[in-house]
Amino acid sequence: MKQELDKLLCERYPKMMVNRNKPMMETCMCWGFDCGDGWFNILDQLMGNIQHHIDWNNRNFEKGYAQYKQVPQVTLDQVKEKFGTLRFYYTGGDDIIDGMVRMAESMSGVTCEECSAPAKTHGPGWIRTICEPCEEARELARKKLDEEYEFKKILKEGNEQ
């Protein structure tokens, strides 16, 4: 994810980001959000809903309303792409937050990781959820890199003779 989007999530949800600047021996959040920009909106909505749920329940619990239970603050341990979908690892929360996370992870499976358009999961090899235009652009870029590599290889072989 672009650095500015990563920073924006950190600024919007500071209570969840307490592990963000810890060393890699303590947390995987030191690497930030390890996914494409296309999932920013999914993450933003998920984190906003989680924090609202925690704050609402805890505020009403403190007021003494019997139907509310205290919800432990969610702190992020790792956020990444794996097998074409979002993985959101955290500590804290409750069953409602577990459901929110499963829903967001499910939504990532039909949302382009690059541009957020509707998408399908592609394989074999590295499994990604990406739309057709983004996949075509990646394929063109890959082809160009392969051609440059072959050209450099030919030049190197020519200089050795």
Using an 8 Å Cβ cutoff, are 129 and 85 in contact? yes
Peptide bond into 118 cis (omega under 30): no
Taking the complete model, does pTM exceed 0.75, yes or no? yes
Using an 8 Å Cβ cutoff, are 84 and 127 in contact? yes
Residue closest to 116 by CA, chosen among 95, 134, 99? 134
Concatenating the DSSP letter of every residue in 57-78 gives HHHHHHTT-TT----PPPEEEE
**pLDDT tens-digit profile of 47-79?**
999 999 999 999 999 999 999 999 999 999 999
Residue found by looking up tokens 């509310």 in the block:
68
Mean of all residue pLDDT scores within the chain? 94
